[in-house]
């Protein structure tokens, strides 16, 4: 591996001194986890920043989703309509709850669930819709909510890519019945590992609090079969430090994003998602820079991936294969009609983007793509 290797992402961090200073009080309190004061402080700061009515922090985004689904108590074997064009966590969270994922195709324009194809997938076993704001592209929230209301379904958003995005004056996490966020080290905002559920129904507050703490209700009562999904104080403090820098992180990403777009615009066979119908009020959080490698490009998607790799540039095929086509599901879903999702999945490549990615590196990557 070349020493000047460029990876698809690089975690943002506060200065060493800032973090060490911030964790010092833990050596006095010895309160390291179990909803300590930093956990509480991060919940309250994130609630404000994300512009959401309620929030519950979790150990990671995956457990946030698993427990958000569990909180509704759907009968075993119920169906959830979802997208296969996502990180495997979205599908696993459904299956691990002993529910059945029903895969809906996505829109070629932005990769989010195609709301016009949801209704014909509804059966008497359907209980919820689980869309993903993939790459920070906002789903058709109004269209999805209308279907959910008509059929009395819950809407659970995987908003892992949408940190800080506002939509029509509210935080993106205010829509649907619940939304989940991931604060993994590779995301725009992180707590090393971490995540959250956001919601407005107050009844969910205690429910999620108990579920993330083994279902323990009080000292002698375990009311349900919960998990351990608590965020510890070291992670909460990393979050507090990172939150102070979030505006810089996003605006630096934006510069790289726009430079890529300028350089790659008009390159034969390379498409970038543009003219997306639903964007956040403040645009995007610039979490990813996906490109589509079309048939008119001289190399295949995999060919371009290999060529960049030879030059020490490690891109990712996010999201290939579709979750529905993964080995763990054997061939259960491979015959489904997921034409647009499979096409996107075969063409997509996400390019390196992070706060301090050198502008010259952006140029170098664009040059390889333009075959200079």
Ligand X SMILES: *Cc1c(COP(=O)(O)O)cnc(C)c1O
CA distance 28 to 50: 31
CB of 187 to ligand X, least distance (A): 6
350 binds ligand X (CB under 6 A): no
| Beta carbons within 8 Å of 245's beta carbon, 6+ residues apart | 12, 14
Segment near ligand X (CB under 6 A); pick from 46-54, 55-63, 221-229, 301-309? 55-63
Segment near ligand X (CB under 6 A); pick from 87-95, 263-271, 275-283, 334-342? 87-95
89 binds ligand X (CB under 6 A): yes
- Candidates 9, 12, 60, 350; binder of ligand X (CB under 6 A) is 60
284 binds ligand X (CB under 6 A): no
Contact 365, 268 (CB under 8 A): no
119 Cα distance to chain centroid: 24
CA distance 258 to 253: 9
184 binds ligand X (CB under 6 A): yes
Kindly state the number of chain residues that form the binding site for ligand X, as judged by CB under 6 A.
14
Tell me which residues in 113-152 interact with ligand X (CB under 6 A).
132
21 Cα distance to chain centroid: 30
285 binds ligand X (CB under 6 A): no
Segment near ligand X (CB under 6 A); pick from 81-89, 249-257, 273-281, 302-310? 81-89
| Beta carbons within 8 Å of 260's beta carbon, 6+ residues apart | 272, 289, 351, 353, 362, 365, 366
232 binds ligand X (CB under 6 A): no
87 binds ligand X (CB under 6 A): yes
Helix (H) or strand (E) holding 154: strand 154-158
- 82 versus 297: smaller Cβ distance to ligand X: 82
Contact 111, 349 (CB under 8 A): no
Place of tokens 């997921």: 338
Q: In the complex, which residues of this chain contact ligand X (CB under 6 A)?
A: 60-62, 86-87, 89-90, 132, 158, 160-161, 182, 184, 195
């Amino acid at each position: 591996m070349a020493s000047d290797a460029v990876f698809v992402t690089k975690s943002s961090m506060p200065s060493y001194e800032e973090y060490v200073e911030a964790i010092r009080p833990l050596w006095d309190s010895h309160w390291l986890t179990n909803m300590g004061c930093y956990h509480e402080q991060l919940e309250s700061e994130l609630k404000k920043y994300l512009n959401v009515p309620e929030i519950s922090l979790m150990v990671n985004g995956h457990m946030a989703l698993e427990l958000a689904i569990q909180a509704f108590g759907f009968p075993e074997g119920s169906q959830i309509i979802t997208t296969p064009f996502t990180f495997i966590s979205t599908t696993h969270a459904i299956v691990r709850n002993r529910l059945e994922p029903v895969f809906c195709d996505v829109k070629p324009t932005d990769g989010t669930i195609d709301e016009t194809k949801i209704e014909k997938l509804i059966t008497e076993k359907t209980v919820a819709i689980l869309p993903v704001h993939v790459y920070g592209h906002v789903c058709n929230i109004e269209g999805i909510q209308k279907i959910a209301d008509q059929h009395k379904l819950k809407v659970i958003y995987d908003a892992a890519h949408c940190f800080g995005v506002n939509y029509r004056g509210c935080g993106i996490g205010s829509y649907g019945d619940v939304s989940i966020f991931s604060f993994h080290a590779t995301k725009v905002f992180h707590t090393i590992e971490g995540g959250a559920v956001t919601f407005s129904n107050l009844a969910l507050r205690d429910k999620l609090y108990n579920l993330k703490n083994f279902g323990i209700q009080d000292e002698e009562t375990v009311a349900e079969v919960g998990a351990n999904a608590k965020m510890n104080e070291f992670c909460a403090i990393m979050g507090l430090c990172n939150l102070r820098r979030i505006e810089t992180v996003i605006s630096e990403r934006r510069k790289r994003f726009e430079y890529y777009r300028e350089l790659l615009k008009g390159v034969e066979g390379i498409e970038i998602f543009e003219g997306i119908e639903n964007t956040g009020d403040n645009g995007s959080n610039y979490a990813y820079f996906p490109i589509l490698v079309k048939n008119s490009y001289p190399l295949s998607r995999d060919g371009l991936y290999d060529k960049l790799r030879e030059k020490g540039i490690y891109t990712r095929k996010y999201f290939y294969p579709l979750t529905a086509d993964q080995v763990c599901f054997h061939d259960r879903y491979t015959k489904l009609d997921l034409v647009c999702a499979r096409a996107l999945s075969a063409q997509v490549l996400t390019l390196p983007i992070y706060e301090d990615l050198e502008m010259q590196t952006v140029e170098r990557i664009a040059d390889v793509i333009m075959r200079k």
